[in-house]
Structure formats: C-alpha cells, structure tokens
C-alpha cells in the first residue's frame, strides 16, 4: 500500500495534505505518529469521568490533527464533538448528544487508525 492508497482507504484527502506537506516521507512520519497519539484515549477517559474540560481539549486536539493531516471525515466528526463540548463551563453538556457525536467520531477514528495501521505493517 502506498500513501495515496492509505488516504483513499479512510476517505482522506491526499492531495490536500500534499499541499501542506510536500514531502511524502514527512507525511508518512506524521501519519505513523497518529498510531501512538494519545488524544483519543484521553477523550475516552475524560468522558467516562464527565471531565468535560479534558474531553474538550482531547477532541480539539483530534480536530487539529485531522485538519493538518487531511483526515476529512474525522475532522468533521471531531469538530462537531469539539463544538458540542466548547461551552462546558457555561452550560450543561447534553450527555445523549455527546454520546451520539462521540460514537460517530469513534467510527471515523477507527477507520483512519485501521488504515494507517495496515499501512504501517506493510512498510
């Protein structure tokens, strides 16, 4: 599997990431770092504890990573969760909607993670 095929496997935008990071070796380096990036685990842990400040930070980190690496579907779903959690200090978090957004984001996250993991094993 080549880099463009990996992006195709999870619905990412390889051409967009190439515009940001012109070198395939650098894209690959950051792509493989995603497998060890702790934000998703931190998000899961924070939501289990109803720690919405930490959940917001973790979701926001995933959104940024997704934007920078052109993980389009994960960018959309992590952005939706981030925005849902943004005002956690001023208003109560709708837990049912939060769970729905988190579940959608989890599907997108796993799709990216699995494709990147397969790519890594073939290198």
User: How many Cβ atoms are within 10 Å of 51's Cβ, its own excluded?
Assistant: 15
Q: Which of the residues in the chain have pLDDT under 70?
A: none
- Output 33-37 pairs: Cβ under 8 A, ≥24 positions apart: 34/65, 34/69, 34/112, 34/113, 34/116, 35/113, 35/116, 35/117, 35/120, 37/65
How much is the pLDDT for 52? 97
Burial status of residue 18 (CB atoms within 10 A of its CB: 0-12, 13-18, 19 or more): middle
How much is the pLDDT for 119? 98
Q: What is the pTM of this model?
A: 0.95
Domains with residue ranges and CATH for the chain? 3-121 (1.20.120.160)
How much is the pLDDT for 116? 98
How much is the pLDDT for 60? 98
């Amino acid at each position: 599997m080549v880099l463009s095929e990996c992006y195709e496997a999870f619905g990412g935008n390889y051409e967009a990431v190439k515009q940001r990071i012109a070198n395939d070796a650098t894209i690959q380096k950051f792509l493989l770092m995603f497998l060890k990036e702790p934000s998703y685990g931190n998000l899961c842990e924070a939501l289990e504890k109803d720690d919405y400040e930490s959940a917001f930070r973790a979701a926001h980190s995933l959104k940024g990573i997704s934007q920078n690496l052109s993980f389009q579907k994960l960018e959309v779903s992590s952005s939706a969760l981030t925005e849902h959690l943004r005002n956690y200090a001023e208003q109560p978090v709708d837990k049912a909607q939060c769970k729905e957004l988190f579940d959608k984001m989890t599907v997108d996250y796993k799709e990216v993670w699995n494709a990147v993991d397969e790519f890594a094993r073939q290198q």
